[in-house]
């Protein structure tokens, strides 16, 4: 049903185009300087399928009757229509079949193949048509070559204007990017070029034709093949309009069509190469986005695993405490003091579990941080407090050096404390392979310019190789997720969510330094 | 030797988990001792310790699997019950392959834990008594001379004194002397007892 509508549209449009383009005909052959209907026919067969080839025949015949008034006796019209149909259906079959053209312009090869086949088809069509009419005695023999050439260029320019336009936009609708100022300027520049070429008495059409190249190249560069097809159409219509308004000799018009054909081909190729380069870029971008998504999923998975681990600890303790309380209550006499003490511990574990859940919620609230104004020393204290005993018990030394008068920072205290702890844990793990050395961990904070506070965790442990430095932050590299070790990738994500950066440096003396920046409060307020 | 001398050693870097497990197990009548890291446990470890080990797999520093490997390398006989908050199948498989009694996930089911601890302690007691008996037997065997050992093998194989004398190229009387001295050293009263000792020793070598 839909195809039937298309078919009806084809007939109407065919006759209409033939009628519109019926200017400057070379009588009695009725060869016009531009002939768009074959372009429409090719588009029809390429889009809907070869089985519609009879439509070509009838449309040609119909147009011959209605528009041209049957310049030759009917049998000749019949024969020429048949030949034209065979030529263009053959071209379409060649494109769809062995040449694997598909039905759209996706690569430069598509355009190249199309150009070759179309010009071959148009050439055969020209030979058949002109030969038949010359044989019939309607066309003068001495004008055979000239007629051949006119027919060919008329059909070619018709095809190059119409078919790419339809194929490029078929299925996508007319998806022109919003006509902004640039598009307007481009349209104006095409008209301006046409006016200079044809409107000014002092300029010679042929000498100044090259001016039309400039706006067309501009359009093709900016809008790719889609823009190029429209630019070619507009220029061609403008050219035909100018020719109709002026008093041009038919020969001049045909010569102009050769120039126009060269322009159209140049413009289409330029647009095609812009489009194909852009689609490659888009594909790369899509792949990068996919990878990014996968990385984020991996980071979320790692986060979830780490949080599940942290949640299971207090839950396990709670279970054991509860069971213990029950046992103690069943004893005679019950040790009430010890029971009370255990219940207090249970309360603390519930609080701890709640904190983990809150952190989980914060993390998955998609970037919304619970920001509060914090003093840097307080932040560092809170982050390191749970670790101090462990550091000392392992015989490591923790040196905290904070610059005086640091600006306050706006941070999510749980997240930044997690980052800081994570970095210190990493530093502690770095000593695993260096048992016989003094283990020093330095935590420093300093302002970095007026807008940033720079926090660093430095160790003199086994260090990080340059190669490892690059891989350090990928979630795949840190998949071991030891203990509560949220991977470095997550730490980095958390810092970046605050607007800061996290990076690692290998130290010459051995050991590594991990630093991250936090925006100072003042700078943040200015941003907002 | 019985479970009363045994201790449940708890190694976990999470203070609350450690504390609650120790409380629960002590209320169930077990003696407990806690360590907050694998390194601490190793530093304190004595080979004559009796009992079992409740070991967290994921810890800062040396993890549970590493501690298990180290103890295995030191020929420790402490059975290990592995616990984790991290449902990690690969680690569980590795721990079980390396000889762990069982693998429990946090939050820990207390019934399951107590059942496992009992099994582990029983196993430890048995293993230690077997070990003690074989140590005693080896001590006795070491006192035998080469000749006495030869006589022991042949007697246990069911040979008569005369056959042994022919094989070892000594007089039957001398065989009787060796046999009497050998049985005295091994503290066995009759041939069936002797055969059991010899078989035990052979099994121990297998």
Q: For chain B, which domains are there?
A: 7-132 (3.40.50.2300), 143-204 (1.10.10.10)
Question: Looking at residues B101-107, what average pLDDT do you find?
Answer: 88
The share of chain B scoring above pLDDT 90, in percent, equals 30
The share of chain B scoring above pLDDT 70, in percent, equals 96
Chain A residue with Cα closest to B91: A480
Any A CB within 8 A of B28 CB? yes
| Contact criterion met (CB below 8 Å) for A9 and A52 | no
Top-confidence residue, A411 or A493: A411
To 5 degrees, how large is the angle CA A330–CA A313–CA A340?
Answer: 35
Give the confidence band of B2 by pLDDT, cuts at 50, 70, 90: very low
Q: Do A313 and B86 touch (CB under 8 A)?
A: no
- What is the four-CA torsion angle of A81, A86, A87, A93, rounded to 10 degrees? 140
Any A CB within 8 A of B112 CB? no
Q: Do A317 and B28 touch (CB under 8 A)?
A: no
Q: Do A319 and B108 touch (CB under 8 A)?
A: yes
Written as six digits, the tokens of A200 are 């000014």
Contacts of B17 in chain A (CB under 8 A): 313, 316-317, 320
**Rounded Cα–Cα distance for residues A43 and A38 (Å):** 9
Query: pLDDT per residue over A238-270, tens digit each?
Result: 888 887 777 667 677 778 888 889 999 999 999
Report the pLDDT value the prediction gives residue B34, as an integer from 0 to 100.
Answer: 95
Contacts of A317 in chain B (CB under 8 A): 14, 16-17, 19-20
The share of chain A scoring above pLDDT 90, in percent, equals 19
Residue B24 has pLDDT above 90, yes or no: yes
Distance to chain A for B181, nearest Cα, Å: 56
Top residue of B12, B18, B27 to mutate, by most chain A CBs within 10 Å, is B27
- Considering CB atoms only, which of A309, A320, A425 is closest to B23? A320
Around Cβ A295, how many Cβ atoms within 10 Å?
16
Top residue of A320, A391, A441 to mutate, by most chain B CBs within 10 Å, is A320
Beta-bridged to residue A459, according to DSSP, are A441, A512
Report the pLDDT value the prediction gives residue B144, as an integer from 0 to 100.
Answer: 85
Any A CB within 8 A of B56 CB? no
| Contact criterion met (CB below 8 Å) for A236 and A192 | no
Handedness of CA A20, A24, A30, A31 (dihedral sign): negative
Q: Indicate the helix (H) or strand (E) that contains B101.
A: none
User: What's CA A494's distance to the chain center, in Å?
Assistant: 27
Any A CB within 8 A of B161 CB? no
Report the pLDDT value the prediction gives residue B40, as an integer from 0 to 100.
Answer: 92
**Rounded Cα–Cα distance for residues A442 and A449 (Å):** 21
Q: Do A317 and B39 touch (CB under 8 A)?
A: no
pTM over 0.80: no
Contacts of A483 in chain B (CB under 8 A): 13, 58-60
Phi, psi of B55 (to 5 degrees): -125, 125
Which own/partner contact pairs does A232-236 have at CB distance under 8 Å and 24+ positions apart?
A: A232/A160, A232/A161, A232/A164, A232/A165, A232/A263, A232/A264, A232/A267, A232/A268, A233/A161, A233/A165, A234/A187, A234/A190, A235/A190, A235/A194, A235/A260, A235/A263, A235/A264, A236/A34, A236/A157, A236/A161, A236/A260, A236/A264
Question: Looking at residues B58-77, what average pLDDT do you find?
Answer: 88
Query: pLDDT per residue over B26-56, tens digit each?
Result: 999 999 999 999 999 999 999 889 999 999 9
**Rounded Cα–Cα distance for residues A231 and A237 (Å):** 10
**SS3 label, residue A171:** coil
Residues from A in contact with B at Cβ < 8 Å: 305, 308-310, 312-321, 323-324, 327-328, 342, 345, 348-349, 352, 390, 393-394, 425, 428-429, 432, 482-483
Q: Do B108 and A320 touch (CB under 8 A)?
A: yes
Report the pLDDT value the prediction gives residue A483, as an integer from 0 to 100.
Answer: 35
């Amino acid at each position: 049903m839909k195809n039937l509508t298309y078919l009806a549209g084809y007939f109407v449009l065919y006759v209409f185009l033939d009628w519109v383009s019926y200017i400057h005909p070379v009588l009695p052959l009725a060869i016009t300087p531009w002939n768009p209907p074959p372009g429409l026919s090719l588009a029809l067969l390429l889009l809907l399928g070869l089985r519609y080839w009879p439509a070509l025949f009838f449309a040609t015949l119909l147009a011959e009757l209605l528009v041209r008034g049957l310049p030759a006796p009917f049998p000749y019209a019949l024969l020429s229509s048949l030949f034209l149909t065979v030529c263009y259906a053959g071209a379409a079959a060649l494109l769809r079949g062995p040449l694997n053209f598909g039905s759209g312009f996706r690569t430069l090869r598509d355009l190249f193949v199309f150009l070759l086949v179309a010009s071959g088809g148009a050439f055969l069509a020209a030979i058949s048509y002109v030969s038949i009419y010359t044989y019939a005695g309607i066309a003068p023999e001495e004008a055979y070559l000239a007629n051949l050439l006119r027919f060919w260029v008329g059909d070619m320019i018709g095809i190059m204007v119409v078919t790419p336009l339809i194929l490029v936009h078929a299925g996508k609708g007319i998806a022109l990017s919003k006509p902004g100022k640039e598009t307007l300027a481009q349209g104006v520049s095409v008209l301006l070029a046409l006016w200079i070429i044809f409107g000014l008495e002092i300029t010679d059409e042929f000498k100044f034709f090259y001016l039309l190249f400039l706006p067309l190249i501009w359009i093709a560069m900016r809008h790719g093949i889609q823009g190029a097809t429209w630019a070619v159409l507009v220029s061609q219509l403008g050219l035909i309009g100018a020719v109709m308004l002026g008093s041009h000799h038919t020969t001049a018009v045909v010569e102009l069509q050769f120039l126009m054909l060269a322009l159209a081909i140049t413009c289409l190729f330029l647009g095609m190469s812009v489009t194909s380069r852009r689609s490659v870029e888009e594909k790369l971008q899509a792949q990068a986005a996919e990878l990014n998504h996968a990385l984020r999923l991996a980071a979320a998975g790692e986060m979830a695993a780490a949080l599940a681990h942290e949640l299971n600890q207090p839950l396990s303790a709670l279970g054991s405490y509860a069971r213990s309380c029950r046992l103690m209550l069943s004893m005679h006499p019950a040790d009430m003091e010890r029971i009370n003490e255990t219940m207090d511990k249970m309360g603390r574990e519930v609080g701890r579990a709640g904190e983990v859940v809150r952190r989980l919620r914060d993390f998955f609230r998609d970037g919304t941080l619970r920001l509060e104004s914090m003093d840097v020393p307080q932040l560092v204290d809170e982050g390191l407090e749970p670790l101090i005993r462990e550091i000392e018990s392992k015989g490591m030394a923790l040196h905290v050096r904070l610059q005086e008068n640091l600006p306050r920072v706006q941070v999510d205290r749980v997240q930044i404390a997690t980052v800081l702890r994570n970095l210190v844990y990493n530093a502690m793990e770095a000593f695993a392979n260096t048992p016989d050395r003094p283990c020093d961990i330095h935590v420093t904070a300093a302002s970095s310019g007026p807008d940033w506070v720079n926090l660093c965790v430095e160790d003199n442990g086994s260090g990080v190789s340059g190669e490892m430095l690059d891989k350090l932050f990928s979630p795949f590299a840190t998949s071991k997720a030891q203990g509560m070790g949220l991977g470095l990738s997550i730490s980095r994500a958390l810092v970046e969510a605050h607007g800061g950066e996290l990076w690692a440096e290998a130290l010459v003396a051995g050991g590594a330094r991990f630093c991250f920046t936090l925006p100072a409060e003042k700078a943040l307020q200015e941003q907002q | 030797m019985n479970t009363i001398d045994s201790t449940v050693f708890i190694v976990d870097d999470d203070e609350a988990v450690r504390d609650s497990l120790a409380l629960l197990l002590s209320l169930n009548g077990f003696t407990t001792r806690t360590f907050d890291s694998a390194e601490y446990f190793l530093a304190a470890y004595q080979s004559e310790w009796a009992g079992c080990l409740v070991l967290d797999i994921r810890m800062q520093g040396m993890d549970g699997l590493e501690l298990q490997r180290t103890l295995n390398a030191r020929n420790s006989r402490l059975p290990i019950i592995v616990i984790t908050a991290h449902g990690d199948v690969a680690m569980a498989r590795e721990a079980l392959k390396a000889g762990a009694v069982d693998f429990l996930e946090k939050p820990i089911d207390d019934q399951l834990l107590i059942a496992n601890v009992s099994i582990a302690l029983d196993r430890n007691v048995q293993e230690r008594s077997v070990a003690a008996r074989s140590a005693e037997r080896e001590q006795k065997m070491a006192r035998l001379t080469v000749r006495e050992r030869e006589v022991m093998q042949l007697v246990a194989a069911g040979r008569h004194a005369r056959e042994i004398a022919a094989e070892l190229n000594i007089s039957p009387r001398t065989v009787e002397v060796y046999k009497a001295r050998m049985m005295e050293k091994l503290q066995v009263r009759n041939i069936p007892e002797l055969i059991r000792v010899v078989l035990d020793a052979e099994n121990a070598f297998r």
